[in-house]
Structure 1
Amino acid sequence: MKKLLIIDTFNFLHRAYHALPKTFRGPDGQPTNAIYGFTSMLINVLNQIKPDYVVAALDGKEPTFRVGEFTAYKAQRKPMEEDLQTQIPKVFEVLDAFNIKKIVVEGYEADDVIGTVATKLKGKVDILIISNDRDLWQLAGNGNIIMVPGKKGEFEWLGEKEVDAKLGFEADKIADYKGLRGDPSDNIPGVFGVGEVTATKLLQKYGSLEEIYRNIEKIEPESLKKKLLESYEQALMSKRLAQIVLDVPFQINLEECKYSDLNKIKVKETLEKYNFKSLIKRLGFSVDEKKKDKESEVSDKQLSLL
């Protein structure tokens, strides 16, 4: 079966931005560390996977429906740094040069777009999702493989069994787990006083958040039952916040996602604007070493983070 690669774009972008120093700049003095790192990772994964189709999932600019339900959702996160923000349009330019289809739906997160693409195309292609966002683990299985980027360009491959083994419960119960445990990184509250161990044991015994509450009279000790009862509405809301949406309203045509390495000339022209000589070489092109513009140097240690 043919392969579809789904890229968690902003996850890629943040990883690239923080892996390379801010001193990494283009000929015009503008920051290019995120552009370079993102493109380096992209070339690596495309060379390794050789996908037939590629989609880049994006977060929209507008607040999501989750903020509408819980105004404190992700409210603790700092605003995006300006040096990173200014590089986003240039990363989109790189994606366009590769002729990679971008999908964004306002009011939803990239995770929802990824989940919906995987659902719509289930059974039509083998689906590879690349991200180190553990929220996406709930999509493992049903023909979906999660690729977690590691050091030195290597990936950890996670199917349903691998995720279940790591978590101690089924992959599709991650939202139930967060309904109990919460998620500080997204400011999801969960049930006050319930930690990782208790949440895992409850799920192992009852299977879902709803089943836990259906059996609330069986819960021991009494102090745990009280915590669960006092946070009932909050627990259900937390699960909804953590649940990836699988039916975001958009259409997708698989043929529009077709990938071909025949786009390399356009990519070369784009990379020349930023003087990314080493990346141009990795695409198989020669570069003019006599040009005065010097490419920012990237150490092997820094590259290993990509």
Structure 2
Amino acid sequence: MTTAETVLVIIAGVLLLLVIGNIVFSFVAERKNPPIGRFIDCEGVRLHYIDRGDPAAPCVVLFHGNGSMIQDFILSGLVDHLARRKRVICFDRPGFGYSQRPRLRIWTATSQAGLFVKALKALGVHSPVVLGHSWGALVAVAIGFEKDYPIRGLVLASGYYFPTRRWDFWMMSGPAIPVLGDLVRYTIAPVISWAILPILFRKLFAPRAVPVNFKDGFPASLTLRPKQLRAAAEESAFLIPEAARLQSRYQDVRCPIHIFHGTGDQIIEPEQAGRLHEVLGGSDLHLVRDAGHMVTYVDSATIVQAVESLEVAMTK
């Protein structure tokens, strides 16, 4: 065996070990962090969700951001606070947590919105308030475009609404590339992601510290599974095109809108919120001082008040 052949055999062996290791890691992560909610099958997609509060009360629906899952809203306190007076439904979006993300579909904000509208109808949810954080804000806006599904209002937090030059989003989209991306996701991507995860968490919450309950309670190991890394990479690749595609339609949303954004957000610039507010005209803008991208943890009380104000407005 030549030196070159020996090197190739060693590389192949290392890659095989990484693949096996990541498959085992995913299995262990799911055993330690089993589903916390229920499942509903819609259009051939199995969605994981929680349903809290009074089933007869007005409903608020929550959509998390890229790379996250249901537990994010639970740890922020939003689910418990809202469930005191409302029915609260929170989904794992496709590919995150325990929701499926079939590869044959292009999971734009609009396609996700259409799927969730059908799921909400199947759950008997009508005229909800819809709250979206980060990438979930685009999904929430897309639901606002649905003409056959009226909503009471939108609460948008830390959203990205207008295209800008963001090379970091494109750089994070590599694991979504077919074949090559698959190889990366099952070999080195989980290892690299594990190494940078603490840095990412600090950046998400900066300028504040990462909350202790998030450190202790968020199932970070689930975010390192190859299938969730694919979903996160796809949404990194889709974010700028989706903002470019939707920006001309924002004025078509007729319901009341509250916009939240942290002034210290290091992930998405606060100017995004101000620009959306100018385009919409009649929205309420809440710029939260000394808050980062995870504004839902810093000002959850005001966000709850915003949801409740939309309920009051609809009853007048």
Structure with more strand by fraction? 2
> What TM-score do the two structures reach when normalised by structure 1?
0.26
Say which structure, 1 or 2, has more relative contact order (CA 8 Å, 6+ apart).
1
Structure number with larger C-alpha Rg: 1
> What TM-score do the two structures reach when normalised by structure 2?
0.26
